Structure formats: C-alpha cells, structure tokens
C-alpha cells in the first residue's frame, strides 16, 4: 500500500525526490483515506481511492452481562448499572428532520485558531452547503473582550461568540446556542471527508434509542469503547477505580452496519441536544480534561452511546500549540476528575481482558493513594506508558 502511494505521488509531482515532509504526508494519506490536510496545513488535498471502505479493528463484542467486575464499593459503582440493549425501528417515522441541514448544527470550540475553523467549514460546506455552525472562541489573553467576527471568518450561517476560557464552558455555550434538534460536536482542527456521513448519523438517532453517535477520528489514538468501575485493593484496603476498554463494545446496532453500542467516543459525535443538556452536558468548571468527565456524566444519566467506524473525519495533528499549553496543568484536572467521581485510579485495559474479569496493570493516572508508612493520605499523580 505504501509503495502504491509512493508511485502515485512521484507520478503526480514535479520532483521524484521525496523529502521527510513528503513521506510524513504520504503516511498521513495512508492512515486517513480520501481527503487530508497537506503536511504544512495550508490546504486540503485528495489522495488516491485505494483504501478500505472503513477502518477495520480487532473489536470485541461483550454483551451486557458483565458490566460489574468483582467487588465495587462507593457511589461510583452506580455507573455499572442501567445498560440495556438498543432498540431500532425498521424505518424512520415522519418527522421534521427530513434533511440534515434542517436538524443539525455543527458546534466548534476554538481558542484563536480561526484558520483551522475556516478549513473545517470549507470541508463541511462541500457536502452540506447550508448547514449552520456555532463557533465559540475565547477572550484574548490580553484582556480584549471584543466579540467582533474575525475578518478571516467570512462565511454565512455561522454564529460566532467569545466567552470565558475553558473547553467545557465553551462546548456547553455552543450547545445552548444551537437551535436544532441535533448538535454535532467537533474539534476545530478536524476536516470532513467523502466518508463523513451525517445522514447516517441522523438516521440512526431518529430510528433508535441512541442519544449520541460518534464517528471514527483518523489519528493515532483509539478512545472509543467501554468502561466499568471496580474496587482495587492494596494491602487490604479497597476503593473503586475506572477501567477503560477501547475497542470493546456491547453489541452491533441492528440494521446499522459498522455501528456499535459503547460508553464513550472521541470528540466527533452527533447528539440529541436536549437529552445531553438534561443530562448535565459538560462540567463548566473544567478548562480541559472535559471529555472523559463528559462521558462519565452521560453514563450516570443513562444515555446510550453508539460508535460507527464507517463515518470518518480527518484530524490535523501538526498544530500542537494548545496541547502544549495544557500539558503542565493536566494532572491538576486529572486530580479533580478522580476526586469528583471517587476514583483512585484510571486503568487503560486491553479489550480482550473484559470478559476475563481480570484487573489490568496499565494505568493511565493515579489518584489519592495511602502512604502506608505513616498512614496518611498522599496524592500521587503519574502517567505511565500504556502498552
């Protein structure tokens, strides 16, 4: 496959000498499919149609019989309860949602990255020219609270506002400003492709008991899947921890090929706006690390989450400026997350371990740990490589 891409590139470019940047670009094309960002982030380009119809993963379907794992004590254990099979109607009932543009608003949270928002809007409007956007930006760091529209955002059908800092706050504001039945949540550095099928996502929500349906994001991580809560015991002392199983799902959605019921998806999903607002939506006190918290809240409220791996969006991963700004503070928010839900740690587990009912050892973060030397609680936050 890589050889085919190299041949395609050299036959369609002025120079046959591939630079490191060009090789990185080709690898990005190979991972993502039809439409991708160029490596310098300046424009969208089309790659060859030589890719599988949808990404294939070694998924595991586990059913609903083992949402509990061993003993579990504390309020967080309620998160293991209430899951039930999805219901799907054989056909859509007549409703106001006959066209995607009538019932979907795309909501975007950004922080001054209007250039990327522009690219996102252009990619969307190629397929959905009349769809509405809500773009929530943050006040300038120099204190300028002007909410004037940037000259670089000339599109019609776009509501643009500036708010106080914070991803959770901005996402909730965007959801409240949308006026359609459904809201599509997306990051500012995403781009639609020929395979970003909003029609399928709307149809699934209209015909089923699902509240949220996410798609596949073509970056290096795989977040979509299940979680459950169970006690972790050390020296006879037990407290609940969260166990995540990316790639494990409860069932395939009937009548919707390539769609699976789970507990969480990445930052690209279509949601029933009123259902999410009624469930509490985002914690506005969280400037970031809001995504993990959001799906625990949705699980607590009993919302049904679906992942479709044939609905794809591209993610530009070259601009890591905002991610770098968050890095020094991420464990503060991790501590807040653990304390809020009463977890002592979060574990990232191999999906094949779900049915084994076994504790996994690859932990992502640790919360309040007992210092057994003096018997006093001590905070220990550390990130370990997940293998």
- 26 and 68, same domain (yes or no): no
Residues 264 and 124 placed together within one structural domain of the fold: yes
Q: Within this chain, do residues 28 and 64 fall inside the same structural domain, yes or no?
A: no
Asked if 386 and 247 count as a contact pair (C-beta separation under 8 A), the reply is no
Residues 69 and 180 both lie in one domain? yes
Segment (H or E) for 36: strand 35-37
Asked, for residue 51, whether it belongs to a domain, the answer is no
Neighbour-count burial of 364, counting CB atoms closer than 10 A to its CB (0-12 exposed, 13-18 middle, 19+ buried): middle
With respect to residue 55, please indicate whether it lies within any of the assigned structural domains.
Answer: no
Do 114 and 150 form a contact (C-beta atoms < 8 A)? yes
Query: Using CA atoms, how far apart are residues 291 and 282, in angstroms rounded to an integer?
Result: 8
Query: Does one domain contain both 296 and 369?
Result: yes
Could you tell me if 350 and 219 lie in one domain? yes
Comparing CA positions, the residue from 117, 205, 135, 118 lying closest to residue 177 is: 135
Picking from 305, 300, 307, the residue whose alpha carbon sits closest to that of residue 82 is 300
Residue 285 maps to a domain: yes
Any domain includes 52: no
Round to whole Å and give the CA distance between 214 and 184. Answer: 9
Range of the domain at 15: 2-46
User: How far does CA 215 lie from the centroid of its chain?
Assistant: 8
Same domain, 33 and 67: no
| Per-residue tokens: 120 | 């996102």
Establish if 385 belongs to a structural domain.
no
Write the DSSP assignment of 300-367 as a string of letters: HTT--EEEEEEEEEEE--S--HHHHHHGGGHHHHHHHHHHHHT-SEEEE--GGGGGGT-----EEEE-
Looking at the structure, do residues 257 and 212 belong to the same domain, yes or no?
yes
Per the rule left: phi > 0, alpha: psi between -120 and 50, beta: everything else, 96 is alpha
Q: According to the model, what pLDDT value does residue 257 have?
A: 93
| 210, 260: one domain | yes
CATH of the domain at 161: 3.90.550.10
Find out whether 112 and 165 touch, Cβ atoms under 8 Å: no
Three-class DSSP category at 227: strand
Residues in the chain: 387
CA distance 117 to 217: 17
Domain count, the chain: 2
For residues 318 and 316, give the distance between their C-alpha atoms in angstroms, rounded to a whole number.
Answer: 6
What values do phi and psi take at 117, rounded to 5? -60, -40
Q: pTM value?
A: 0.78
Residues whose CB is less than 8 angstroms from the CB of residue 12 and which lie 6 or more positions away in sequence, other chains included: none
Q: DSSP state, 274?
A: H
Walk along the chain (387 residues) in steps of 10 and give the mean pLDDT of each run: 33 39 44 33 33 62 90 90 94 80 96 89 94 89 55 82 89 96 95 95 96 89 88 81 94 96 97 97 83 95 97 79 57 80 89 80 55 27 29
Judge if 356 and 214 occupy the same domain: yes
For residue 192, tell me if it sits in a domain. yes
Query: Which residues 6+ apart lie within 8 Å of 368 measured at CB?
Result: 338, 339, 344, 377, 378, 379, 380
pLDDT at 276: 98
- Residue 19: both structure tokens together: 């630079």
- Kindly state whether residues 281 and 213 are assigned to the same domain: yes
Residue 386 located in a structural domain: no
Residue 387 lies in a domain: no
What is d(CA 310, CA 53) in angstroms, rounded to the nearest whole number?
Answer: 7
286-303 in b/e burial notation, b at 16+ Cβ within 10 A?
A: bbbbbbbbbbbbbbbeeb
304 lies in the same domain as 356: yes
């Amino acid at each position: 496959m890589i050889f085919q891409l190299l041949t395609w590139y050299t036959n369609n470019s002025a120079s046959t000498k591939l630079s490191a940047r060009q090789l990185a670009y080709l690898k990005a094309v190979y991972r993502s499919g039809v439409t991708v960002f160029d490596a310098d982030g300046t424009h969208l380009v089309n790659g060859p149609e030589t890719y599988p119809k949808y990404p294939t993963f070694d998924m595991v379907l586990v059913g609903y019989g083992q949402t509990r794992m061993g003993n579990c004590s504390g309020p967080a254990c309620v998160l293991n309860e209430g899951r039930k099979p999805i219901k799907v109607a054989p056909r859509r009932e007549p409703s106001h949602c006959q066209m995607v543009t009538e019932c979907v608003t795309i909501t975007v949270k950004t922080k001054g990255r209007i250039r990327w928002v522009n690219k996102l809007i252009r990619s969307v409007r190629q397929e959905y020219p009349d769809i509405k956007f809500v773009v929530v930006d943050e006040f300038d760091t120099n204190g300028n609270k002007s909410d004037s529209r940037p000259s670089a955002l000339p599109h019609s059908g776009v509501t643009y506002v500036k708010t106080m800092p914070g991803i959770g706050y901005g996402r909730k504001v965007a959801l409240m400003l949308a006026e359609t039945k459904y809201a599509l949540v997306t990051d500012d550095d995403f781009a639609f492709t020929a395979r970003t099928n909003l029609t399928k996502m709307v149809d699934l929500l209209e015909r089923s008991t699902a509240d949220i349906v996410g798609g596949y994001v073509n970056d290096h991580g795989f977040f979509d899947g299940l979680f459950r809560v169970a006690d972790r015991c050390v020296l006879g002392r037990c407290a609940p921890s969260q166990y995540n199983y990316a790639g494990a799902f409860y069932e395939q959605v009937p009548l919707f090929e390539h769609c699976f019921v789970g507990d969480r998806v990445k930052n690209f999903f279509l949601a029933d706006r009123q259902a999410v607002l009624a469930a509490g939506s985002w914690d506005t006190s969280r400037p970031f690390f809001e995504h993990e918290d959001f799906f625990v809240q949705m699980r607590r409220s009993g919302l049904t989450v679906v992942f479709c791996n044939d609905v794809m969006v591209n993610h530009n991963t070259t601009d890591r400026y905002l991610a770098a700004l968050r890095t020094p503070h991420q464990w503060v928010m991790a501590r807040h997350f653990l304390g809020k839900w009463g977890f002592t740690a979060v574990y990232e587990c191999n999906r094949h371990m779900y049915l084994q009912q076994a504790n996994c050892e690859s932990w992502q973060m640790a919360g309040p740990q007992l210092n057994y030397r003096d018997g006093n609680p001590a905070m220990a936050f550390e990130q370990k490589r997940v293998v």
